[in-house]
Amino acid sequence: MKPPLFWYQKPSWKSAFLAPLASIYAFATARRIAKKPALNAEVPVVCIGNINAGGTGKTPTVIALVQHLIERGKNPHILSRGFGGDEKSALRVREDMPASRVGDEPLLLAAFAPTWIGADRTETAKQAVADGADILIMDDGFQNPGLAKDISVIVVDASRGFGNGRVLPAGPLREPVAKGLARADVVISIGHERAQARFDADWAPHVSVPRIAGHLAPLPMGIDWKGLRALAFAGIGHPAKFFETLRNEGVEIVQSVALDDHQPLSTSLLQRLQAEARLRGAQLVTTEKDAVRLPQSMRAEVLTMPVRLQLDDWAVINQLLDTRT
C-alpha cells in the first residue's frame, strides 16, 4: 500500500481528523516499549531501526554495518523478522531458500552475513549466539522490547524526513519523534546534498542525538548503463528513488512500474513486464531486493542495479562500537 500524500505535507484537516486514532496508536506503542526486555543477549546487540513506517534505507544500512564489522574482525549475525515470508519459527536463512518462505530482505542479507528469521527475536538471538555470533544486528525492531539493545541506530530518508510529524494513521510515524530519539544513540539520514539540506531545514533542531549523513551509490558492476533503454520495476519502500538512481546513471527509462513493498512477483505480472519490455525494445531492470524474488528462469533476463550506503563519517559509529561492544 502506498502512503497517503498528506503524510508528507504540512499538517492538514486530514491529520487532525485522524489525531484521536493516532493518540491511541502512540499510547499502545509506548506501553509496549515500556516493557522490560525479555532477554539480555550474551553478545552486544545493535538495532538498525526507524521511527517512520515503511522504507527508510534500513537494509543498505545493515549491509554497510555488517561489512564494517567484518573489517573490524567481528563475526556479526543478522536478526530479521522475515517480513513477507511464511516461516514463523526461528530459522537460519540459506541463499537457496525461496523468498516466499523467508522474505526478500533476509534472503538478500544472507549473502553478507549469517541471517536468522523468526517472530521471536529472543529465540533467534540465542540460536545466533550458539552458532558463533559475537555481535547481533537487528534489522528493524526498534519498537520491539523483547531483546535488550546496546546501540540503537535510527535511519531516516533525508528527502522525506519525519513527514508531517504525526503518528499513524495521521502521519507516517510509529511513535513521536522526541520519544523515539530519546532511546536512540545516532541518526543516519540518507540522501544527496539537496535532501540533506531539506532535512537540516525541517528537522535538525529536533534531532537530539548525533547525526550522520550518507547516500546510496550504485555498486560498480562493469555494466555501461548510459543510454540503456529500460523498463524498470521496483517493489521497495520508495520506488521513485530507484528510478531516479537509474536516470542519474544515464539510463533511459521508457516505462517505470512502481510495485508495493515486498509485492509478490506473480507469473502474470512478470509475463506482462516481459511483453511490455519486448514491445518497447527495452531491458528489464530491477533492484537487488526485488531480484531475489524472481524465479530462476527469469534472472538471466533482468539486470539488477545494487546500491550501497556511503557514510560521510564512521567516527560516531566507531566510538559507539568501541564503548558499548
39-51 burial string, b = 16+ CB within 10 Å, else e?
eebebbbbbbbbb
How many domains does the chain fold into? Answer: 2
Identify whether 17 is part of a domain: no
How far is the C-alpha of 228 from the C-alpha of 34, rounded, in Å? 52
171 and 254 share one domain: no
> What confidence score (pLDDT) does residue 72 get?
95
Kindly state whether residue 144 falls inside one of the protein's structural domains: yes
Q: Are residues 112 and 234 in the same domain?
A: no
The position carrying cell 559475537 is: 134
- Tell whether 209 and 288 lie within a shared domain: no
CA angle 307, 309, 313 (to 5 degrees): 155
Q: How many CB atoms lie within 10 A of CB 160?
A: 23
Task: Tell me: do 148 and 257 sit in the same domain.
Answer: no
> Are 156 and 236 in a shared domain?
no
User: Given a cut of 90, is residue 262 above it in pLDDT?
Assistant: no
The reported pTM is 0.93
DSSP string for residues in 253-310: EEEEEEPPTT----HHHHHHHHHHHHHHT-EEEE-HHHHTTS-GGGGGGEEE--EEEE
221-232 tens-digit pLDDT: 889 999 999 999
Same domain, 178 and 314: yes
| Domain with 318 in it | 22-216+310-324
Claim to verify: residue 173 and residue 114 sit in the same structural domain = yes
Is 7 a member of any domain? no
CA distance linking residue 255 with residue 66, whole number of Å = 34
> Is residue 245 included in any domain, yes or no?
yes
pLDDT band, very low/low/confident/very high, at 1 (cuts 50, 70, 90): low
User: What would the pLDDT profile of 51-71 be if each residue is shown by its tens digit?
Assistant: 999 888 899 999 999 999 999
pLDDT at 238 over 90: no
* Portion of the chain with pLDDT greater than 90, in percent: 81
Instruction: Based on the fold, state whether residues 318 and 188 are members of the same structural domain.
Output: yes
